[in-house]
Amino acid sequence: MSVSRISPVPLERVGTSESKTPQSPPSGAPWTRFDLWLQRPRSAAMVVLWLSLYLVLTTNWPLWNELARIGGAPSSYMSTVVSMSLLTLCGSAAILSFTAWSRWMKPLWLLVVILAAVVQHYMLEYRVVMDPTMIANALQTDPNEARDLLSWRMAFNVAVVVLPAAWPIWRVRVAPMRFLPKLARNVGLLLLSVAVAVGTAVAMNRELAPLMRNNVHLRYMMNPIASLYSTGALFIKPLFKRSGKLVSITAGTALGASYAAQTRPPLFVVVVGETARADHFALNGYARDTTPELAKRGVLSYREVRSCGTNTLASVPCMFSPLGKEGYESRKDDYETLVDVLQAAGLAVFWLDNQAGCKGVCERIPNASAFDGLDAATKKALCDGDECLDDVMLKGLDARIAALPAERRAKGVVLVMHQMGSHGPAYYKRSAPDVKRFLPECKTNALADCGHAELMNVYDNSIVQTDRFLGQTIDWLKAQSKQYDPAMLYISDHGESLGEFGLFLHGVPYSFAPDAQKHVPMVTWFSEGMSERRKLSRSCMEAGLDAPLTHDNLYHTVLGVMDVTTPTYKPALDALASCRAKG
């Protein structure tokens, strides 16, 4: 008799139904299946790789548009688009591989998506690129300027990118892993990304090398690589380039011979303009009459002046520096500035700001915000919240000057006024209703939505406002002639793009910025007292109005006008030195 063996039937383990890994996608709504799929454990490196791909596909439209513009026909640029996209993917994955550690990195990943979405909006809206100076400029933006940059279009453009990524980032399940295996995965992702990027660059070198050489701005359009790199460079490079030491340049500074026999001290106002283009000043030949007030007051307008930078943060410290553009940009230490030298000479120096700060220039001299101490009536007439028209700087100015030390005022006064000027994109806020000569205006900060004529109108009205402010400043100076020998020098910090080449605003890296962002106005006015004091020949100055000048000339020209002797003064860079009689 044979006995049959009965194989035991394995029993299901009690309590194992809570398996952490779903065996197969359950049936149900697509969204439910997608959510359950997200909850499958994945390595942080894999999440970072998927995130990099998402960013490449959703936040690089400005790059693709620019490649299409440069390339012409689709057959010419599609291979370049693919190559640049692959390079951007590899670069993003390489950078994000340093964050591929645990689920606690999720807020950081979401922040990167938000950053990339915001950057894309501004690149699309204003055609800017995210080099280190643009990042620095953005970080220096005050709340009023930031408010002007906000819009419903921005909220929509950012939401379109962020919302589809936010839920997956929140719900994705990052598998816990021991340190060494996790480190190995991250290093592997980094090396693989670099290898693919190098391979792509070598394979496409014939196309990419001339493209990147002739279009340097493309490297700052790879999103989010450019903004992450530029932000890192902004904070890291200074640690290696500059010591943080402040170099004094005031030794040997003294007042010149003109002070010994003076009957009245000098009063020199330096107006630092904002975002003004030289080619939109009627004084320089612009067809529209944007400078009627200055034309009535016998000013001199220099027509060929170039800025040190294309944004306020770069230009303002540079124009007050003794080093010039090249020296300032390559410096290893920080240096005292023009206002420090003037103060060391014994003059009363004061900085009045209607902007987002003096960028460090006025830290060691008396300074104030034009908004401080205003009465309610003035705020109502000239201000919108904490943002005011430049006319506000003339309110209470006598009292501000009188508050400076009497012994310094007796020698001479230098007043620096930093304008709001034509700061965009909300140009319509930069002029009062009674100076809006050119209508209709662009009434939005979404400049691409405005017609060309409307954009020209609103910008030119801001120049008319500056013209009125400068005219009023000259009138105020004339009223001081009984006790001072007054003069004024106005110069803008940088220019502005108004749709040329598809660009708006400013801040394009200087090496390939259009001339509209670098060609700035410079205007001077001298009273009879100051002209006689400094023996200035008007005919000589008129003959030099087309001489090429830069911000490098400002430091030495102001010292020359104020007759301050110091070792850092260079007569060759003094724009008026040749027009002063000797003796």
SS3 for 278-337, per residue?
HHHCHHHCCCCCCCHHHHCCCCEEEEEEECCCCCHHHHHHHHCCCCHHHHHHHCCCEECC
Average predicted confidence (pLDDT) for the chain: 88
> Using CA atoms, how far apart are residues 295 and 468, in angstroms rounded to an integer?
11
> Using CA atoms, how far apart are residues 276 and 496, in angstroms rounded to an integer?
7
Tell me, what amino acid is at 303?
R
For residue 12, the model assigns a pLDDT of 41
Residues 370/392, Cβ–Cβ less than 8 Å: yes
Place of tokens 């909850």: 39
Quote the strand ranges of 227-265, DSSP E.
Answer: 246-247, 254-255
Tally of residues, the chain: 583
Residues 486/480, Cβ–Cβ less than 8 Å: yes
For residue 214, the model assigns a pLDDT of 67
Q: What is the pLDDT of residues 57-92, one digit of tens each?
A: 999 999 888 888 887 666 667 888 888 889 999 999
Taking 90 as the threshold, does the pLDDT of residue 280 lie above it? yes
Residues 502/283, Cβ–Cβ less than 8 Å: no
Over residues 219-234, the mean pLDDT reads 82
In which band, very low, low, confident or very high, does the pLDDT at 242 lie, cut at 50, 70 and 90?
A: low
Taking 60 as the threshold, does the pLDDT of residue 22 lie above it? no
C-alpha separations of 438 from 332, 353, 433 in Å: 47, 28, 11
Taking 50 as the threshold, does the pLDDT of residue 9 lie above it? no
C-alpha separations of 211 from 62, 77, 208, 216, 540 in Å: 16, 11, 5, 8, 47
Spell 419-458 as b/e; 16+ CB within 10 A means b. bbbbbbbbbbbbbeeebbebeebbebbebeebeeebbbbb
> Using CA atoms, how far apart are residues 532 and 547, in angstroms rounded to an integer?
23
DSSP class of residue 173?
Answer: -
Taking 60 as the threshold, does the pLDDT of residue 229 lie above it? yes
Over residues 552-568, the mean pLDDT reads 97
Phi, psi dihedral angles at 559 (to 5 degrees): -60, -40
In which band, very low, low, confident or very high, does the pLDDT at 241 lie, cut at 50, 70 and 90?
A: low
Tell me the whole-structure pTM to 2 decimals. Answer: 0.75
For residue 517, the model assigns a pLDDT of 95
> Using CA atoms, how far apart are residues 457 and 455, in angstroms rounded to an integer?
5
Q: What is the pLDDT of residues 467-498, one digit of tens each?
A: 999 999 999 999 999 999 999 999 999 999 99
Over residues 419-434, the mean pLDDT reads 93
For residue 142, the model assigns a pLDDT of 67
> Using CA atoms, how far apart are residues 292 and 14, in angstroms rounded to an integer?
91
SS3 label, residue 372: coil
Over residues 132-148, the mean pLDDT reads 71
One-letter-per-residue 3-state SS of 135-171: HHHHHCCCHHHHHHHCCHHHHHHHHHHHHHHHHHHHH
Express as a percent the part of the chain with pLDDT over 90: 57
User: Which domains does the chain carry?
Assistant: 30-240 (no CATH), 267-579 (3.40.720.10)
**26-35, 38-47, 276-285, 424-433: range with lowest mean pLDDT:** 26-35
In the chain the first and final C-alpha atoms are separated, in Å, by 139
Taking 90 as the threshold, does the pLDDT of residue 582 lie above it? no
Q: What is the pLDDT of residues 294-334, one digit of tens each?
A: 999 999 999 999 999 998 989 999 999 999 999 999 998 89
Over residues 415-423, the mean pLDDT reads 96
* Residues paired with residue 491 on neighbouring β-strands, in sequence order: 272, 522
> Using CA atoms, how far apart are residues 118 and 124, in angstroms rounded to an integer?
10
> Using CA atoms, how far apart are residues 70 and 272, in angstroms rounded to an integer?
37
For residue 139, the model assigns a pLDDT of 66
Q: Nearest 10 degrees: CA dihedral of 435, 440, 445, 446?
A: -160
Taking 70 as the threshold, does the pLDDT of residue 15 lie above it? no
